[in-house]
Structure 1
Amino acid sequence: MLSGARKIVSACWRPVRRYVRMNRDDSADDDHRFSDDALLWSRDLERHFLGEFSFAVVQANEVIEDHSQVETGRAATFIGVYDGHGGPEASRFIADNLFVHLMRLARDGGTMSEDLLKNAISATENGFLSLVRRTYAIKPVIAAIGSCCLVGIIWGGTLYVANLGDSRAVVGSLGHSKKIIAEQLTKEHNASVEEVRQELRSMHPDDSHIVVMKQGVWRIKGIIQVSRSIGDAYLKRPEFSLDPSFPRFHIPEPIRRPVLTAEPSLSTRVLQPNDRFLIFASDGLWEHMTNEEAVEIVYNNPRAGSAKRLINKALKEAARKGHMRYEDLKKVDKGNRRCCHDDITVAVVYLDHELLSEKIAVPELSIQGFVDTTGPSKFSILQEKI
């Protein structure tokens, strides 16, 4: 067993290349001892119109494929988690465009709804496929780049959520016994879920290889696990199919109809006084902890650094599974670290319901995770003249 542990550690271990961290958040909390992870970015506690939020991202890939944002408005808050695959281009495109589409639609309609979220996602998908079409001839691999997409917007006292892929939104609510309860708000579109496999088979009755078990994992066409995404044009449009020079993404027979879709799962929740916080996170978090474990950690610890605390817990579990010390995991460089864990994005949004009537002014800011950019929020589009 010790020999196996050494092999796993050896596979992950490489000399650590230190670089300047974009934002080292050194505010004091119980987890200050974890602040030396050069690949971990965090905002320990910021304000939004209905309370506070904590935001953190850790990188595993050579180029980070998770992009994310929190937008704070006068009476609304937007959270977006975009877990890319094949490259960062699709997740970056979503971060740059989806919220802008949503605000323009809300401005024109004067309100928020599930339909607006769906239409904003559709506009983003069409925009990225147009980018693929323009660049396919010089960079064909862009057809194999895609992203999961989890978004939520608190509009007044109502939460609207849309999801494509296997990121997850969870609400922590107080039950009758004052015990914190986890409720998952999103459906996961992943071939590991029996319901998803049945859906795919019913949509493709003439394709016996629509879902295939490969290396112990259910995959669509033997390639990808998620059934809904933005991008992945080669699995949606036959004109973007890739030839055998791209063996990882090559399908022997041209697709007859889209294998993946960009149709989101949608839900609406009128927030209740017992709803205490929301957790939005990419699947890199959930493969190392349950919904219940996550809400317990958030509820039983200080607000400051709660997102970072969840990531630290996931990393410690990843190290344990890899038969290595957490201190050693932190020394594994980006790229090599992917064999230990995925990029992980977490946003914890606290809900202080009494603020709904107080209308306390907060800065309208746009914060993008890990790249650590902060600027004016595009909620300002709502005030533009039509």
Structure 2
Amino acid sequence: MAKKGAVFAGSSLVLTYALWDPKYLSCESIKGIKQFSSSPGEQGSASTISLLSDSQVTQRLRQMEESYFVRRGRGILRYDSAQLPSNAPIEDTRVEQVITFPSTQPGADEDLYFFGVFDGHSGPYTSANLARTLVPYVAHQLGQVYNSVSESGPSSSSAVDAAITSAFLNLDRDLVQGSLGNLFKDPSKKNLASALPAISGSCALLTMFDSSNSCLKCAVTGDSRALLGIQDPDGQWSVKALSVDQTGDNPEEVERIRSEHPGEPGAVRNGRVLGSLQPSRAFGDYRYKVKELFGKTVQDLPDHLKVYFRREPRNFNSPPYVTAEPVITTTHVDSNSKFMVLASDGLFELLNNEEVMNLVVEWMNKERGSDINIKSVVAAPKAMSTFESTPSKCFIEDNNAATHLIRNALSSGGQRDYVSTLVSIPSPMSRKYRDDLTVTVVFFGDEADPSQVSGELSLNHNATAPPKPKL
């Protein structure tokens, strides 16, 4: 592929800590959020947490938000992203990148738009690596496909799928077997640092929109999810799932793993791989994939390095039990396709697909006619009365659509106290109530005003967190 350079890329992740109010929330138990009640206490005690003010809650919800206008006239108008940590540091990452490549027609370039969400576990190392390397791996494989058909016409959908799959598997091979192999050969601190993405793990959700044919590919490894919001010519809304969660609760995944490990009833136990890992596909997670490399195991490492490795799970008899191979879907984006939502499973633990769609539509209707370019995306909101699962109350007070989803996901149907409480609970206690949250909303459409097509991306300051002051 004649890669002409990335136009934009995902931002670095910065965790900040909010200031606490002299008001506290007493926790009688950790079984549910309803067990919290307002009462005085001593700051810093094990049984109380301080409650943020409404303005501090909003500041924290918006501290990792970004929004861009995509003024390239190639089917995407804008994207909004936001994150809310629960772990410290956050174990989720995200990426947005567009790669320009020559079209089969002389003088006409096309864009490949990549949007990714990477939900890490057991540390941030794997997800951070994916944010840096997965799109380049995919671009490398796609380059071979596009170069091979540059004179014969567009590449086939199956060839593109094969290229994406190869990129996922090649990257995971390098993360796990490559880095661990180097560490076993030379147990140095440098090689240990390179092996950290093999020790932790991450799900991966990567979508690719091809502006040349309006084809949307969605590749998922794990349980992050992508949705497409669709509005028909009559104004009726529907939601299409672009991915299926891959976990130990998915019957097809259970059948796949058990067929690969006959005679091992413990391969999937209690909805988890080997009774331990919930995602059935993931990057990293060496302890579900390799027992030894080059005749050496973790037990052959020096003691000061072995402490970084967890013991292998029970019934670890015939690895690998977990794969990074993605499941890929293909969808044509037409004039009815209005937006796409990508999110880590932390969002879908709180909202179902229809609720996510409805919340985005509510937000779009509020933004209609404003100066932030949503009016060219959405038709008249006459379908609103047909919604079956619109929250009884939703908050529409964020200029960033992804922040809007996170705020309402935490509200339990429009309860501001829930938002305040769930945002106020500090790490690591917050992990008992919510996961890291990462959301990206992409808006499809054509520029209503051709003069706005500048070929560049422009920061939407109204929906982007201000830069952190330099010390």
User: Is the pair's TM-score, using the shorter chain for normalization, greater than 0.5?
Assistant: yes
Equivalent position to 2:401, from 306, 309, 315: 306
What's the counterpart of residue 228 of structure 1?
Answer: 281
Per-residue deviation, 1:37: 1.8
What's the counterpart of residue 189 of structure 1?
Answer: 246
| Map 1:221-300 → 2, pairs under 5 A | 221-239=274-292, 249-300=311-362
Provide the secondary structure at the position in 2 that maps to 1:329. Answer: helix
| Map 1:160-179 → 2, pairs under 5 A | 160-175=217-232, 177-179=234-236
Does 1:93 pair with 2:129? Answer: yes
C-alpha distance in 2 between matches for 1:134 and 1:16: 48
Task: Give CA-to-partner distance per residue, 1:291-348, whole Å, 9 cap, x none.
Answer: 111111111213541111011112223997xx96322322222332212211111110
List gaps (5 residues or longer) in structure 2: 1-26, 38-45, 101-110, 148-153, 300-305, 368-373, 375-398
Does 1:60 pair with 2:86? Answer: yes
What's the counterpart of residue 328 of structure 1?
Answer: 421
Provide the secondary structure at the position in 2 that maps to 1:162. Answer: strand
Greater shift, 128-137 or 281-290, is seen at: 128-137
Contact 1:13/1:332 (<8 A) preserved:
no
Per-residue deviation, 1:101: 1.8
What's the counterpart of residue 384 of structure 1?
Answer: none
Provide the secondary structure at the position in 1 that maps to 2:350. Answer: coil
What's the counterpart of residue 16 of structure 2?
Answer: none
Matched residue type, 1:99? V
Q: Percent identity?
A: 24
Does 1:79 pair with 2:142? Answer: no
Change (3 A) 1:201 1:89: same
What's the counterpart of residue 378 of structure 1?
Answer: none
What's the counterpart of residue 316 of structure 1?
Answer: 411
Per-residue deviation, 1:114: 1.6
The structure whose RCO (Cα within 8 Å, separation 6+) is larger is 1
- Give TM-score scaled by structure 2 length: 0.65
C-alpha distance in 2 between matches for 1:97 and 1:57: 20
Provide the secondary structure at the position in 1 that maps to 2:78. Answer: strand
What's the counterpart of residue 180 of structure 2?
Answer: 132
What's the counterpart of residue 155 of structure 1?
Answer: 210
Equivalent position to 1:47, from 66, 70, 90: 70
Contact 1:319/1:340 (<8 A) preserved:
no
Per-residue deviation, 1:38: 6.3
Provide the secondary structure at the position in 2 that maps to 1:334. Answer: coil
Contact 1:39/1:334 (<8 A) preserved:
no
Change (3 A) 1:43 1:6: closer
Provide the secondary structure at the position in 1 that maps to 2:59. Answer: coil
Provide the secondary structure at the position in 2 that maps to 1:119. Answer: helix
Greater shift, 328-337 or 84-93, is seen at: 328-337
Change (3 A) 1:159 1:168: same
What's the counterpart of residue 377 of structure 1?
Answer: none
Matched residue type, 1:36? Q
Contact 2:63/2:465 (<8 A) preserved:
no
C-alpha distance in 1 between matches for 2:308 and 2:442: 41
Change (3 A) 1:76 1:360: farther
Matched residue type, 2:161? E
What's the counterpart of residue 433 of structure 2?
Answer: 340
C-alpha distance in 2 between matches for 1:281 and 1:124: 22
Provide the secondary structure at the position in 1 that maps to 2:421. Answer: helix
Matched residue count? 351
Task: Give CA-to-partner distance per residue, 1:143-180, whole Å, 9 cap, x none.
Answer: 44111010011111111111100000100001364221
C-alpha distance in 2 between matches for 1:196 and 1:141: 27
Per-residue deviation, 1:359: 9.9
Per-residue deviation, 1:350: 0.3
Per-residue deviation, 1:191: 0.8
Does 1:116 pair with 2:163? Answer: yes
C-alpha distance in 2 between matches for 1:250 and 1:76: 40
What's the counterpart of residue 385 of structure 2?
Answer: none
Per-residue deviation, 1:242: 6.2
C-alpha distance in 1 between matches for 2:326 and 2:422: 35
Contact 1:150/1:162 (<8 A) preserved:
yes
Greater shift, 44-53 or 186-195, is seen at: 44-53
C-alpha distance in 1 between matches for 2:307 and 2:65: 40
Task: Give CA-to-partner distance per residue, 1:342-365, whole Å, 9 cap, x none.
Answer: 11111100001468x999333369
Per-residue deviation, 1:223: 0.7
C-alpha distance in 1 between matches for 2:216 and 2:351: 24
- Give TM-score scaled by structure 1 length: 0.79
What's the counterpart of residue 200 of structure 2?
Answer: 145
Contact 2:97/2:115 (<8 A) preserved:
yes
Task: Give CA-to-partner distance per residue, 1:243-280, whole Å, 9 cap, x none.
Answer: 79889653244431310111110122221110111111
Task: Give CA-to-partner distance per residue, 1:22-42, whole Å, 9 cap, x none.
Answer: xxxxxxxxx988522268410
Contact 1:70/1:80 (<8 A) preserved:
yes
